[in-house]
Structure 1
Amino acid sequence: MKRLGALLLLATLAACQSQNPYIADSKPMPPAPAHSPQQLDLSAYPAKPRDFARYRTWSWQQLPAGSAWASSEQVQEALSNALDQRGLRPHRVGKTSDLKVSAELRLEQRLRQVTEQYGSHYGHSRYGDNYGMWGSAPLVRSYTEDVMVVRIELFDGQSGQPVWNGHAETRNSGSQSERAAALRNAVQQALAAYPPS
């Protein structure tokens, strides 16, 4: 039995000594383009950070449309005040503004879920020992809610390229004065991250 095991081991070792049928082979790298040493490829580097401090004035790219929820004038006033708080002033007539501003209001629906725990309890205490039954089950209630979404986009006044955007939402309910306050609050929330740090 030992001889058979030794012969099997020798046969296995002999099989490992045979030539490898696989040969490593690769094609040479193609030569670099002729113009590459003279030109710097800026796409290989990250873009330099945008200097938001140079933006000081703004104008409308397009006046925001009003809705049944808020008039165009209310949106303009709320946004103008919020931009003013961030050091951005309306441009003077005859000069190009640093930023172009676009704002949009739209009504959307959101699915909300509320989870409440309902349960029962039965217990008894005798001489400090507690025993009994406890149980609870979650009750999930779903409902849809209308919300007003405020979206603000800022574009570079010279190039027209988008430089920043933000959005926020508020409930679509309440009196006219409550809606105006909710609009101002939503605009402030949408601009909360401007200028980015």
Structure 2
Amino acid sequence: MKAFAIAVLATALVACTTTPTVHTDFDPSANFASFKTYTWAMKPQGGSPLVTQRIVDGIDARLAARGWTQSPNGDVALAAHIVTSQRQTLDTFYTGSNMGGWGWRGGGWGGGMGMGSSTTTVRTYDVGTLVVDMFDAKSKQAVWRGTASATVPSSPDRVNATVEAGLDRLFASFPPGSAPAK
């Protein structure tokens, strides 16, 4: 029973630490210093409209902090998408320490076997991914892409914290070539 309680606690701690995994890529020939305005070509859709609005507001705030302004005919067109998928893990917990092992057994060296048991639990969880693409509005060429993925928490407060953490990490070194944001 003690092993089961420890396993549940460990699983709960892992579920609480959903640090988003972030990847960015950009066109090295793009002149980000020339971009000052942007327009939303496609706002993210799906999921909670409140979370979607927080994502849009969060991106707007981070771009404004870098001197960009939203404009109907911006230098850069933004397209954002939200994708969710279900994943599963198998957690196996062993009880009893009767696995034996090799060693001296009265009459000589040998292996021992004992009775032990295991319990396997299937855990299903959702993973959310935000994809943000930026295109040069004049050339229609892609200039930047960022993705942030994390396990979707069950409480709205944790969802909002995960969104904020993902956006912070996504735009930490934006625009490319700039010093990381603090």
TM-score between both structures, scaled by the size of structure 2 = 0.58
- The residue correspondences of 1:17-166 to structure 2 (distance < 5 A) are 49-68=29-48, 70-85=50-65, 87-91=66-70, 93=71, 96-112=73-89, 143-166=123-146
Deviation at 1:182, TM superposition (A): 1.2
User: CA deviation digits over 1:33-79, x for unaligned, max 9?
Assistant: xxxxxxxxxxxxxx973222222221101232242374432221121
Is the alpha carbon distance of 1:111 and 1:189 closer, same or farther for their aligned partners in structure 2, counting shifts above 3 Å?
A: farther
User: Secondary structure of 1:61's match?
Assistant: strand
Whether the aligned pair in 2 keeps the contact of 1:115 and 1:140 (CA below 8 Å) is yes
Is the alpha carbon distance of 1:68 and 1:194 closer, same or farther for their aligned partners in structure 2, counting shifts above 3 Å?
A: same
Distance across 2 between alignment mates of 1:71 and 1:141: 31
2:170 aligned with 1:190: yes
Distance across 1 between alignment mates of 2:138 and 2:79: 15
Whether the aligned pair in 1 keeps the contact of 2:37 and 2:68 (CA below 8 Å) is yes
User: Secondary structure of 1:53's match?
Assistant: helix
1:179 corresponding residue in structure 2: 159
Is the alpha carbon distance of 1:174 and 1:48 closer, same or farther for their aligned partners in structure 2, counting shifts above 3 Å?
A: closer
Gaps of 5+ in 2: 1-26, 102-111, 113-118, 178-182
What count of residue pairs does the alignment treat as equivalent? 142
Gaps of 5+ in 1: 1-46, 123-132, 134-138
Distance across 2 between alignment mates of 1:110 and 1:63: 26
Whether the aligned pair in 1 keeps the contact of 2:35 and 2:68 (CA below 8 Å) is no
Is the alpha carbon distance of 1:115 and 1:163 closer, same or farther for their aligned partners in structure 2, counting shifts above 3 Å?
A: farther
Percent same amino acid at aligned positions?
21
Is the alpha carbon distance of 1:48 and 1:84 closer, same or farther for their aligned partners in structure 2, counting shifts above 3 Å?
A: closer
The structure with the largest alpha-carbon Rg is 1
Distance across 1 between alignment mates of 2:100 and 2:156: 47
Whether the aligned pair in 1 keeps the contact of 2:90 and 2:122 (CA below 8 Å) is yes
User: Secondary structure of 2:42's match?
Assistant: coil
